[in-house]
Amino acid sequence: MSSKYPILSPNKIIKVLEKFGFEKVSQKGSHAKYKNKLTGLTYIIPMHNEVARGTLKSILEQANVELNDFLKFL
């Protein structure tokens, strides 16, 4: 796994994703459901202490957000 993906808290990830048009829909247990206002697609964000690099990579790929764009808002 590439180390260019940082290990972050879910709150930091969510703050950036909200800038890309995501809003919280619901939460069940330790997983929150976010919907992209532009595409209407729904994504699951784990609300653990830290989100693993591979999980962040998967979230960004599914959400069609480039890592460089994500890191600019971090």
CA distance 4 to 35: 26
Whether the pTM exceeds 0.85: the reply is yes
Tell me the per-residue pLDDT of 22-40, one tens digit each, with 9 for 90 and over: 999 999 999 999 999 988 9
DSSP element (H, E) containing 70: helix 67-73
The residue behind tokens 């890191």 is 71
Of the candidates 26, 27, 31, the one whose C-alpha atom is nearest the C-alpha of residue 55 is: 31
Q: Is the pLDDT of residue 1 over 60?
A: no
Between 1 and 54, the higher pLDDT residue: 54
Which pLDDT belongs to residue 3? 74
The domains found in the chain, sorted by start residue, are 10-73 (3.30.920.30)
E strands of the chain, at which residues?
22-28, 31-36, 42-46
**Percent of the chain topping pLDDT 90:** 89
